[in-house]
Amino acid sequence: MSDQYQPPKIWRQDAVSGGKWASINRPVSGATHEKTLPVGEHPLQLYSMGTPNGQKVTIMLEELLAQEKDADYDAHYIDIGEGEQFSSGFVDINPNSKIPALIDHENDKHIKVFESASILIYLAEKYNALLPKSGVERVSVLNWLFWLQGSAPFLGGGFGHFYAYAPEKFEYPINRFTMEIKRQLDVLDKQLEHNAFIAGDTLSIADIAIWPWYGNLVLGNLYEAEQFLQVNEYTHVQRWAKELLSMPSFQRGQIVNRSWGEEWQQLKNRHSAQDIDNVLALKPK
């Protein structure tokens, strides 16, 4: 049809259409402005936002603390809608300008870690928790961790973008990504039918990585798409998502670096356990 979009021979940035994130998207990397990041008192310094990718790390840290690991941390809010991920300080940690980003200042090593899966593995190995050291159990956890890394972009950048954030509703991409997300939910549902947790009988970094995306989705906390996707059909994912949400580490971790929702769901910056306690105390009984 004559009104269909035809790609030009050469793409130009001025051809970008609108949308929620259009003002910060650009085809080059690097810093846009100079800014030094704040540093708290703990060796672990997290720079993030409470999106699903950000929740992975804060839930992980809260679970480590629940297991009495010495994993106290400072979490600093990075407003990606305002382009704070493009500051010189943030780009120095993560040249890809994506949250979350972590620095471990223990023993003055200043280890920079970016990409959420890399951070989860780093913390798991540092504290000897939530990731088996060897054997088939370790392989299973890593299989599912990297399943998430390959699958979540279809949920976030694919389905979520076109269903919730694109300037218009386009039938083809919504149908395309809905098909894939329902297939992914079916994969998880079948895995959880015979396993208490994603990779077996024990909580692991695979659960911590997958829950912020697919747990939030089936619980109605992502894109307001629960009816559209008929998430109640995935009974085993529902069971798993609710059981994890009942754990204090998931309740605590999901509110860190968050600036939306109810008052008791928002904690932009976290410097101590008391910061989370104070916010959760606001939750209606």
At 203, list the tokens: 């909580």
Residue type, 263: E
Per-residue pLDDT of 109-147, as tens digits, reads 999 999 999 999 999 999 999 999 999 999 999 999 999
Residue type, 21: W
Quickly state the pLDDT bin for 1 (edges 50, 70, 90). very low
Q: Residues 50-55: what's their mean pLDDT?
A: 98
Q: Looking at residue 25, what is its pLDDT?
A: 84
Min mean pLDDT across 22-31, 72-81, 142-151, 254-263 is at 22-31
- Which CATH number, 3.90.1150.10, 1.20.1050.10, 3.40.47.10, 3.40.50.300, labels domain 135-253? 1.20.1050.10
Handedness of CA 19, 23, 29, 31 (dihedral sign): negative
Q: What is the CATH number of domain 14-130+261-285?
A: 3.40.30.10
The helix (H) or strand (E) run that includes residue 140 is helix 135-153
Q: Collapsing DSSP states into helix, strand and coil, what is residue 91? A: helix
Give yes or no for a contact between 45 and 102, defined as CB atoms under 8 angstroms apart: yes
CATH 3.40.30.10 boundaries in the chain: 14-130+261-285
Per-residue pLDDT of 173-206, as tens digits, reads 999 999 999 999 999 999 999 999 999 999 999 9
Handedness of CA 87, 92, 98, 103 (dihedral sign): negative
